[in-house]
């Protein structure tokens, strides 16, 4: 046995190392099959049979492989695959049965070593046709019986599952007719009673199917299933009875639907009727806030927070997971929040900077998007059903269904218009935030390629930007501060050496900047292309009132940082040296290099 295992491993290594491009040798394959490594051998055997159709034993082993696969398939999770494997096994067994003869066994005895037995009469080992034939017949009988059991087992199992789910569907349908316990008590009639009776019959059928399933299961021998039902009583019409059941689990907790219809008039009298009146009064209070906002033009968000009735919403959700009144209240609250924010923002809208304006617009866009979403969901509701569910609320608060629908529709149209307007304003403002406007010039606050004459070299968000402006291919340095409204109060141009900062040299033109004090800006532009005198650079010092000075320099190394002394006004440019030291290029407050 140990030798056979070693040989099987060697054959497996041979197969996997030679690859699929090599022709499969049956003498190697037979070692895997004799070792019962069917799962490993299957793809090679299939390939072999495509190329060799005259090997009888290969068909026999193919049947055994499929029988083995069927044994490993899950009887409930993979019934179709299992039956297919059984049918394939039957096909190959039936195909090979008439082909196995004494002549076949004698000519190819090496292929039938699993049938090698000691002859009782002669005491010699031999392969008998009768043993092979009996084995095939036995295998066929067993797998045919197993196929029927699998089919019956799954038929009863699926019937159990289907009938129980059908019971749940009937139950859910009844729930659908009554979105709350209030509706159940108000609307229950003879047709509903008949539906409940039908539910009980279908439920009983599911229990019978389960018993039949258990009967077949007990004849299957060792299987991974042993389901036992535990019944739970339904005590709440809306909360219970909807649990999804995994029928593959051992502990099946099912609802006993025959008892669910016991409702109490006490719930109706003490909860449903008061809730119905409360819905109308709450809607009136929301209308009062709407009128206050229109009349006084002030935010009512604080009033809305105080009015929020969590208990009311909790009671609503208890009887209906998606109640129409809650949707209407949410829509009214969203509209009040939106208009309250609009009123509160009105005074600062015109004077605020672009960033603040954008924040205001995004806040309002968020408000109106919420209103748009809520009103859209309301428009998509089934109002025929809602009218029956909430007839008291609709008639007392709005008069008719048409009035309520028109109100929701007009609110939705308002939300869509305002949402589109806000989004367009946001888009325009976001574009504006990418530019500074100075007179007729628009200065980009981004480094992506653009047709603008202005080519930013450094952008310090919300502080300043500087770069080079190219007019007629001649470069001029510029520096603008970034104000809230993106209209700079500091706007400076300064000369640079034209021959070092041509437009075609932009890829090697770099910049450093600093804003060490509120009234001091330092902008250094330099070329990474070294000349005989060093790296050409221009440093501009700018104050709130304009350009202080702008001077050209030749730097020994590429600069890494600009430092500034507030006490002396000196500017220091850090120059990293090849030795790792930091050398300072020092300028006095007038830009003159200090020796």
Could you give the CA distance from residue 410 to residue 416 in angstroms, rounded to a whole number?
10
- Which ranges of 320-400 does DSSP label H, i.e. alpha helix? 324-349, 354-379, 383-389, 391-397
Q: How many CA atoms lie within 13 A of 277 on its CB side?
A: 5
pLDDT of residue 226: 92
Assess whether 295 and 351 both reside in one domain: yes
Q: Which residues touch 64 (CB under 8 Å, ≥6 apart)?
A: 33, 38, 89, 139
Assess whether 398 and 311 both reside in one domain: yes
* CA nearest to 436, candidates 369, 551, 354: 354
Instruction: Let me know if residue 402 belongs to a domain.
Output: yes
Q: 543 or 177: whose pLDDT is higher?
A: 543
* CA nearest to 217, candidates 152, 142, 289: 152
Assess whether 428 and 442 both reside in one domain: no
Confidence of residue 188 (pLDDT cuts 50, 70, 90): low
Could you give the CA distance from residue 316 to residue 393 in angstroms, rounded to a whole number?
13
Q: What is the pLDDT of residues 522-558, one digit of tens each?
A: 999 999 999 999 999 999 999 999 999 999 999 999 9
Query: Cα dihedral sign for 97, 102, 104, 108?
Result: positive
Over pLDDT 70: what percentage of the chain? 92
Query: What is this structure's pTM?
Result: 0.53
What residue has token string 């300028």?
587
Mean pLDDT calculated for residue range 20-24:
60
Instruction: Let me know if residue 216 belongs to a domain.
Output: no
Assess whether 93 and 51 both reside in one domain: yes
Domain count of the fold of the chain: 3
What residues pair up with 554 in beta bridges, in sequence order? 536
Assess whether 405 and 497 both reside in one domain: no
Could you give the CA distance from residue 498 to residue 289 in angstroms, rounded to a whole number?
67
Instruction: Let me know if residue 187 belongs to a domain.
Output: no
Mean residue pLDDT of the chain comes to 88
Tokens of 433: 């935030």
Could you tell me how many residues make up the chain? Answer: 595
Note whether 327 and 389 are within 8 A (CB). Answer: no
Q: 499 or 11: whose pLDDT is higher?
A: 499
Q: What is the pLDDT of residues 148-175, one digit of tens each?
A: 999 999 999 999 999 999 999 988 888 8
Question: Among 114-128, 285-299, 387-401, 558-572, which is the least confidently predicted range?
Answer: 114-128
Q: What is the pLDDT of residues 281-322, one digit of tens each?
A: 999 999 999 999 888 888 888 988 888 887 788 888 877 778
pLDDT of residue 186 exceeding 60: no
Instruction: Let me know if residue 561 belongs to a domain.
Output: yes
Give ∠ CA 57-60-62 in degrees, rounded to 5.
110
Question: Which of 122, 151, 180 finishes a domain?
Answer: 151
pLDDT of residue 176: 80
Question: Which of 123, 151, 179 finishes a domain?
Answer: 151
Could you give the CA distance from residue 213 to residue 155 in angstroms, rounded to a whole number?
8
Instruction: Let me know if residue 293 belongs to a domain.
Output: yes
Could you give the CA distance from residue 342 to residue 126 in angstroms, rounded to a whole number?
98
Mean pLDDT calculated for residue range 6-23:
49
Assess whether 453 and 401 both reside in one domain: no
pLDDT of residue 13: 47
pLDDT of residue 276: 78
Note whether 275 and 389 are within 8 A (CB). Answer: no
Question: Among 252-266, 481-495, 524-538, 540-554, which is the least confidently predicted range?
Answer: 252-266
Mean pLDDT calculated for residue range 471-488:
92
* CA nearest to 12, candidates 2, 1, 24, 21: 24
Assess whether 469 and 571 both reside in one domain: yes
The conformation of residue 54, written as its DSSP 8-state character, comes to: -
Assess whether 531 and 394 both reside in one domain: no
Assess whether 422 and 439 both reside in one domain: no
Instruction: Let me know if residue 182 belongs to a domain.
Output: no
Assess whether 269 and 128 both reside in one domain: no
Instruction: Let me know if residue 205 belongs to a domain.
Output: no
pLDDT of residue 11 exceeding 50: no
Assess whether 456 and 427 both reside in one domain: no
Over pLDDT 90: what percentage of the chain? 62
Confidence of residue 22 (pLDDT cuts 50, 70, 90): low
Could you give the CA distance from residue 387 to residue 342 in angstroms, rounded to a whole number?
34
Confidence of residue 264 (pLDDT cuts 50, 70, 90): very low
The conformation of residue 270, written as its DSSP 8-state character, comes to: I
Q: Please state whether beta strands 228-233 and 251-256 pair in parallel, antiparallel, or not at all (unpaired).
A: parallel
Question: Which of 116, 151, 186 finishes a domain?
Answer: 151
Q: Domain range holding 313?
A: 265-432
* CA nearest to 492, candidates 472, 470, 476, 511: 476
Please state at what angle helix 79-96 crosses helix 56-72, rounded to 10 degrees.
160
Instruction: Let me know if residue 227 belongs to a domain.
Output: no
pLDDT of residue 19: 47
Alpha carbon 198 to its chain centroid, in Å, reads 41
pLDDT of residue 266: 58
pLDDT of residue 2: 43
pLDDT of residue 184 exceeding 80: no
Mean pLDDT calculated for residue range 415-419:
95
What residue has token string 């009727």?
273
How many other C-beta atoms can be found within 10 angstroms of the C-beta atom of residue 399?
10
Note whether 338 and 346 are within 8 A (CB). Answer: no
pLDDT of residue 182 exceeding 80: no
pLDDT of residue 503 exceeding 70: yes
* CA nearest to 429, candidates 486, 358, 368, 485: 358
Assess whether 336 and 473 both reside in one domain: no
């Amino acid at each position: 046995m140990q030798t056979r295992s070693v040989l099987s491993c060697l054959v497996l290594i041979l197969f996997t190392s030679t690859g699929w491009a090599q022709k499969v040798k049956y003498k190697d394959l037979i070692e895997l099959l004799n070792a019962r490594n069917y799962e490993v051998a299957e793809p090679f055997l299939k390939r072999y049979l495509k190329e060799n159709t005259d090997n009888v034993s290969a068909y026999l082993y193919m049947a055994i492989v499929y029988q083995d696969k069927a044994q490993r398939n899950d009887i409930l999770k993979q019934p179709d695959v299992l039956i297919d494997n059984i049918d394939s096994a039957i096909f190959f067994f039936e195909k090979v049965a008439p082909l196995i003869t004494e002549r076949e066994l004698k000519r190819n005895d090496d292929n039938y070593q699993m049938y090698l037995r000691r002859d009782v009469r002669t005491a010699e080992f031999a392969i008998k046709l009768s043993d092979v034939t009996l084995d095939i017949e036995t295998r066929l009988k067993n797998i045919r019986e197993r196929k029927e059991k699998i089919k019956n087992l799954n038929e009863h199992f699926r019937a159990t599952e289907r009938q129980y789910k059908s019971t749940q569907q009937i139950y859910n349908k009844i729930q659908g007719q009554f979105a709350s316990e209030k509706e159940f008590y108000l609307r229950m009639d003879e047709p509903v009673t008949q539906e409940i009776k039908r539910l009980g019959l279908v439920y009983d059928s599911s229990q019978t199917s389960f018993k039949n399933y258990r009967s077949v299961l007990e004849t299957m021998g060792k299987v991974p299933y042993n389901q036992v039902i535990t019944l739970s009583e339904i005590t709440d019409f809306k909360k219970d009875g909807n649990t999804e059941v995994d029928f593959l689990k051992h502990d099946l907790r099912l609802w006993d639907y025959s008892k669910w219809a016991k409702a109490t008039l006490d719930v109706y009298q003490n909860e449903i009727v008061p809730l119905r009146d409360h819905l109308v009064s709450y809607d009136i209070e929301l209308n009062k806030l709407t009128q206050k906002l229109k009349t006084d033009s002030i935010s009512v968000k604080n009033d809305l927070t105080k009015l929020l009735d969590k208990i009311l919403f909790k009671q609503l959700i208890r009887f209906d997971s998606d109640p129409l009144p809650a949707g209407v209240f949410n829509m009214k609250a969203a509209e009040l929040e939106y208009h309250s924010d609009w009123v509160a923002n009105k005074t600062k809208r015109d004077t605020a900077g672009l960033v603040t304006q954008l924040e205001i617009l995004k806040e309002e866009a968020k408000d109106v998007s919420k209103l748009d979403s809520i009103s859209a969901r309301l428009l998509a509701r089934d109002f025929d059903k809602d009218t029956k569910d909430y007839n008291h609320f609709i008639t007392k608060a709005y008069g008719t269904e048409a009035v309520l629908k028109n109100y929701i529709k007009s609110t939705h149209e308002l939300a869509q218009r305002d949402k589109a307007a806000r989004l367009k304003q946001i888009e325009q403002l976001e574009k504006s935030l990418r530019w500074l406007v100075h007179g007729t010039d628009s200065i980009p606050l981004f480094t992506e390629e653009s047709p603008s004459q202005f080519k930013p070299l450094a952008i310090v968000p919300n502080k300043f930007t500087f770069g080079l402006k190219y007019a007629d291919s001649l470069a001029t340095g510029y520096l603008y501060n970034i104000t809230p409204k993106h209209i700079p109060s500091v706007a400076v141009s300064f000369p640079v050496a034209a021959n070092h900062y041509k437009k075609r040299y932009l890829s090697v033109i770099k910049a450093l900047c600093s804003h060490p004090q509120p009234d001091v800006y330092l902008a250094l532009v330099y070329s990474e292309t070294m000349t005989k005198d060093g790296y050409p650079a221009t440093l501009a010092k700018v104050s709130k009132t304009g350009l202080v000075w702008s001077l050209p320099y030749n730097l020994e190394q590429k600069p890494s940082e600009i430092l500034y002394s507030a006490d002396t006004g000196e500017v220091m440019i850090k120059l990293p040296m090849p030795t790792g030291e930091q050398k300072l290029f020092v300028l006095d407050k007038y830009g003159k290099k200090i020796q």
